[in-house]
Chains A and B, each alone.
Chain A
Amino acid sequence: EVQLVESGGGLVQPGGSLRLSCAVSGFTFRTYWMSWVRQAPGKGLEWVANIKEDGSEKYYVDSVKGRFTISRDNAKNSLYLQMNSLRAEDTAVYYCARGYSSGSYWLDYWGQGTLVTVSS
């Protein structure tokens, strides 16, 4: 059974940092692109970042470039999102999702999400 479990969310002050983690199981992690998607309270879905299978390519939505860093540890079957210089508008539930692999065309499995609240 495919499982993705996020952790690391919480309350942080503007300008602060937070590191989200996503532990995965039930599939061969190293063969998939992985994604982070967020959802502000009462709003729609917004793609945040993608990372290639081996971590050699990373892509971000413009609003987080230079502040967020996506990474992965294939030995630990884990995905991460380092968030720095956080702003109020980063407040959202952050989901990790299985990205792309041949035969699996983007975001077929999602975690339960972790809430990040940026407020003083």
Chain B
Amino acid sequence: QQQVKQSPQSLIVQKGGISIINCAYENTAFDYFPWYQQFPGKGPALLIAIRPDVSEKKEGRFTISFNKSAKQFSLHIMDSQPGDSATYFCAALMNLYGGSQGNLIFGKGTKLSVKP
């Protein structure tokens, strides 16, 4: 299965709260899991990414938690700020050895609104 299922579709969080977005996949050949952030009128931008050999990666207020056995990964935004209001996409990639570059499979996105 090539799908990546993302939830929730939308999320409203108060300033200072924790935003949590979840993704699930089925293909165990995926081996790279990035999160992208997209502001209105802009293209997606890489926020943070993880490989399945670690269970957690933290960069500032953003943390990816990865559960290989459950085939799930999530993005946690600590101390959420109004400036974090954007659409967040999870993605997964399977490297295709033998000369072809792997391609990203995206989730449907989560629209995050952080209220002041």
A joins B in a complex: no
Q: Which residues of B are at the interface with A, using a C-beta cutoff of 8 A? A: none
